Structure 1
Amino acid sequence: MLLIIPAIEIRSEHCVRRVSGLADTQYGDDPVKMVKLWRIENTKSLHVTDVDGAVCGRPMNTETVRQMVKAVDIPIELGGGLRTFDDVRRAFEMGVYRVLVSTMIIENPDDAKRALDQFGSSKVVAGIDAIDGRSAIHGWAETSGMTPLSVALNAKDLGFRRIVFTDVQRHANLEGVNLEALKQLAETTGLRITSAGGIRGLDDLLKVQELQRVGVDSVIIGRALYENKFSCQAIWRMCENENFPYTAKVNL
């Protein structure tokens, strides 16, 4: 079974989800309470994006991330604005379990290699974001001249062993998963692949699960989880509303 990793995006110390054509949609006020909520829901890992950091090119919500890490006993993966080796080092000093680097692979591969050598390929993973067949950089504000596959092959040469792949348009608009791109990345590189974004519900999840045989072993899901797109979540919410034993909301 795929590992399902809830996503938390932070802007100005608040939880948001970016929706194409709309202002950021706020799903929760307090990121620390949000990580506790996902822990109560028995998630095994969390993916956190510093949206301000991705846009500004340097980590911005560091104290918030530090508090999130301290609040739970599960691994937290952090991305957004990690452009140098020192950015990566400081992230690990905050206690995050794993970091995701993206723009660094294209613009600063020496630091990416240094981070891999220092912390290992299980702790430093490659983020590849696709817009119209090109790899996005600088928080999706620009595209490079490289295809996602070429970036993935370069990442493999540097020593990366996992790719977190996002089709940006599908991620933003909840349009479904780019199964063809996932399959191509997995089969061509031989790396482990995490699919990020585009999951709309159980049907999409099952389609991605069919790619486990080629190396797609996990999914990062944000909006669909927050909007209760899975039937099991609907049951949880009904129980919470009725205050049934063992499923009632916990005060955070």
Structure 2
Amino acid sequence: MWIPAIDLSNGQSVRLYKGDFDQKTLINADPLTQAQTIEAAGLTTLHLVDLDGAKAGNPENLQVIKSLVANTNLTIEVGGGIRTIERIQQYLQLGIRRVIIGSAAVTNPELVKDAVQKFGTDKIVVGVDGRNEMVATQGWLDTATVSMSDLIKQMIGFGARTFIVTDIDRDGTMQGPNVDLLVKLQNEFQTADIIASGGIRDIDDLKNLKDNGITSAVIGKALAAGGMTLEQLKAVS
């Protein structure tokens, strides 16, 4: 499954370069229009990240997210600043299909365990973002002392099965995904669904991922920068 992404900051759709908030590019001042264009192209799923929320530890773009749910029929997954069971429940009740737990998986791993038990495996995704295979947290501003592999192993023990893996040094760079890392993790955890994120440039990158056993990916900058079109993405979905 190939999933277009919208990253939210100050109510707008933006892209960061390597997770750097000081290197932010405006993609669309109206994220709803962008989402409706994605839907009109025949795509059915949307990956949303509340960048401000990831930094603050609380959702900061909730009104925009509510608008996207109310005014599209897209299946939406959301991450960024989700640190409590109550927040997860709020998003799911809003109509979000699944919730992505990132930093809290490191700082409060019991949250993932409790969330999977309460809401089910299909509703909970763990975001595993890192540099040099070490996990980064708090909107990628801090680096934890846990490896991406160890985090995934622990989360699988809690019942999680879906992981969005982002190599931060590839994110927003259009240099291609870190296929070696993704394949290594998928081979290590064969029961897990490893979703690629970061660096994807074009359709050939998606074909390369698929040839290497990675069948899901989040695509952001490539769509914004012209590396691929929504129509091309739909054609290979």
1:64 match: secondary structure? helix
1:183 match: secondary structure? helix
1:99-149 deviations in Å (ceiling 9; x for gaps): 110111111122211111111111101110011221011110001001111
1:170 match: secondary structure? coil
Q: Structure 2: how far apart are the matches of 1:27 and 1:42?
A: 20
Aligned with 2:10 (options 5, 9, 12): 12
- TM-score normalised according to structure 2 size: 0.92
1:140-195 deviations in Å (ceiling 9; x for gaps): 00010011111110110111011100000101322211111111111111201110
Letter of the aligned partner of 2:201 in structure 1?
R
Q: Structure 2: how far apart are the matches of 1:60 and 1:10?
A: 9
Q: Structure 1: how far apart are the matches of 2:185 and 2:133?
A: 13
Q: Go from structure 1 to structure 2 and tell me whether the alpha carbon gap of 1:146 and 1:39 turns closer, same or farther (over 3 Å shift).
A: same
Q: Structure 1: how far apart are the matches of 2:216 and 2:130?
A: 18
Q: Which residue of 1 aligns with 2:181?
A: 181
2:176 match: secondary structure? coil
Which fold has the larger relative contact order, with Cα–Cα distance below 8 Å and residues 6 or more apart in sequence? 2
Q: Which residue of 2 aligns with 1:206?
A: 207
Q: Which residue of 2 aligns with 1:193?
A: 194
- Asked which structure has the greater CA Rg, the reply is 1
Cα shift at 1:229: 1.1
Q: Which residue of 1 aligns with 2:225?
A: 227
1:25-47 deviations in Å (ceiling 9; x for gaps): 01111111111110011112000
Q: Which residue of 2 aligns with 1:31?
A: 31
Q: Which moved more, 1:164-173 or 1:21-30?
A: 21-30
Q: Go from structure 1 to structure 2 and tell me whether the alpha carbon gap of 1:227 and 1:233 turns closer, same or farther (over 3 Å shift).
A: farther
List runs of 5+ in structure 2 lacking aligned partners.
233-237
User: How many residues are paired up?
Assistant: 229
Q: Go from structure 1 to structure 2 and tell me whether the alpha carbon gap of 1:139 and 1:231 turns closer, same or farther (over 3 Å shift).
A: closer
Cα shift at 1:59: 1.0
Letter of the aligned partner of 1:182 in structure 2?
L
Query: Share of identical aligned residues, percent?
Result: 28
Structure with bigger strand share is 2
1:71-99 deviations in Å (ceiling 9; x for gaps): 11121000000011112111112211111
- TM-score normalised according to structure 1 size: 0.87
